[in-house]
Amino acid sequence: MLTVDFSRFPLAPGDRVLDLGCGAGRHAFECYRRGAQVVALDQNGEEIREVAKWFAAMKEAGEAPEGATATAMEGDALALPFPDESFDVVIISEVMEHIPDDKGVLAEMVRVLRPGGRIAITVPRYGPEKVCWALSDAYHEVEGGHIRIYKADELTAKVREAGLRPYGSHHAHALHSPYWWLKCAFGVDNDKALPVRAYHKLLVWDIMKKPLATRVAEQALNPVIGKSFVVYATKPHLPCIADGTEGVAAK
pLDDT along the chain (251 residues), means of 10: 96 97 97 98 97 97 96 97 98 96 97 98 98 94 88 97 98 97 94 95 94 95 98 85 42 26
- Radius of gyration from C-alpha coordinates of the chain: 19
135 CB-contact burial (10 Å; exposed 0-12 / middle 13-18 / buried 19+): middle
- pTM for the model stands at 0.91
What is the pLDDT at residue 145?
Answer: 85
What CA–CA distances, in Å, run from 159 to 136, 152, 166, 167? Answer: 30, 11, 7, 11
**Residue 239: what pLDDT?**
58
Q: How far apart are CA 155 and CA 246, in angstroms?
A: 22
C-alpha closest to that of 171 among 223, 212, 243: 223
pLDDT score recorded for residue 142? 81
pLDDT at 247: 42
What is the domain partition of the chain in residue ranges?
Answer: 76-172+226-235
The per-residue pLDDT for 141 is 85
CATH of segment(s) 76-172+226-235: 3.40.50.150
